[in-house]
Amino acid sequence: MGQKTPLYQWHANRKARIVDFAGWDMPVIYTSINDEHRATRTSVGLFDISHMGRIIVEGAGAQAWLDRVLTNRVDNLKPGQVRYSLVLNEAGGTLDDVLITRLPDRYLVVVNASNREKLLNWFGKSTPADVRITDRTRDWAMIACQGPGAVEAMQKFVDVSISGLKYYFSADATIDGIPGFVSRTGYTGEDGGELILPSKSAEAVWNKLIDAGATAVGLGARDTLRLEAGMPLYGHELTEEIDPVQAGLGWAVKSTEKDFIGRASLLTKDPGRTVRVGLRLNDKRIAREGFLIRRNGDECGRVTSGTFSPSLEASIAMAFVKPDAAKIGTALEVDVRGAAVAAEVVPLPFYSRKK
């Protein structure tokens, strides 16, 4: 048995299907991936993301050091601002993708569960004496509340105005009477936010959000939602063998504005390396991770994630293909168990919410 989040018992009581995810026992499906997905797109989905790593960085040298280990800028973060960033190794490969938040007197770094220990080790190699790193993952729970009704649902129990928070901003907040933290962030392509609160308070807040009409959503639909939203998932679109520029994340890499670990290697990467694209298949079959992609019969890449999109009712995938096959509208073939299935390069994201 793996590690359990503070909400594990709730999931088990609801007979969720539990799987091992990065060493955690996590709910993958409560009722149906489609139903949970649609609830998030049309109403409110509630996600236990307590398995994600929550790391506090503080000390006089915190900003300067973070600007060395992160590809995106930390120096010009406003108080409460959240920013997406990559962590690279010296070779420019991706160690993780993270969210960094500037708190009043310190920084919060939210990292992938699968990379938490690796990153703590990596950070430990370069932290100077005036920077202190503390892993607070086990002390706090983290709940994502996502969907067109999510802000309204959370607002019932949160004392600061969530609609007053801009996208990718955060604030200390009292959540159901308990000191916690709210951010206007998410991994679904919907409006909403993420709450961090003491582990012992998690189930009470979770239950109140469920009573307010939110649908519990497992990792299965979390994956289909992020895929539709064109968001990379570490282990698929990002690995130590993939650099963020080829993954289409150059906007989070500030090579011209600062130095950081991996920068020098990024500048020498082969411009002919594969790049991340979105594919739409002309078939109901799913293009799964590892499936070969051909153009006019010649191999040009591989699928990294695929699913049947509940919103588009179409088979969609993300893939890495050679640059000359990456242009929007390019006709490709995906090798689905020996059958050449027609696919077209389409813009990411596959789905955008109406604003």
Partner 1 sequence: MNEEALLYSASHEWTRVDGEVCVVGITRFAVEQLTDVTYVELPPVGRAVTKGKPFGVIESVKSANDLYAPVSGEVVEVNTRVADDPASIASDPYGEGWMIKIRTTAKPDLSGLMKKADYDAQTAASGH
Q: Give the residues lining the site for partner 1 (CB under 8 A).
A: 17, 29, 32-34, 220, 224, 284-286, 288, 307-308, 315, 337
Given the complex with partner 1, which of 32 and 127 has the nearer CB atom? 32
Question: Cβ 236 to partner 1, closest distance in Å?
Answer: 15
Kindly report the CA angle at 206 between 205 and 211, in degrees rounded to 5? 95
Question: Cβ 337 to partner 1, closest distance in Å?
Answer: 7
What does 11-60 look like in DSSP terms, one character per residue? HHHTTPEEEEETTEEEEEESS-HHHHHHHHHHS-EEEE-TTSEEEEEEST
Question: Cβ 297 to partner 1, closest distance in Å?
Answer: 23
Question: Cβ 327 to partner 1, closest distance in Å?
Answer: 28
Which 8-state DSSP code applies to residue 315? E
Given the complex with partner 1, which of 182 and 286 has the nearer CB atom? 286
Given the complex with partner 1, which of 36 and 190 has the nearer CB atom? 36
Q: Which amino acid is located at 316 in the chain?
A: I
Given the complex with partner 1, which of 18 and 82 has the nearer CB atom? 18
Helix (H) or strand (E) holding 332: strand 331-336
Q: How far, in Å, CA of 286 to CA of 133, rounded?
A: 42
Q: Could you tell me whether strands 298-309 and 292-295 are parallel, antiparallel, or unpaired per DSSP bridges?
A: antiparallel
Question: Cβ 33 to partner 1, closest distance in Å?
Answer: 5
Question: Cβ 239 to partner 1, closest distance in Å?
Answer: 21
Under 8 Å CB-to-CB from 114, ≥6 apart: which residues?
Answer: 21, 22, 234, 235
Given the complex with partner 1, which of 125 and 337 has the nearer CB atom? 337
Given the complex with partner 1, which of 136 and 284 has the nearer CB atom? 284
Q: How far, in Å, CA of 298 to CA of 64, rounded?
A: 47
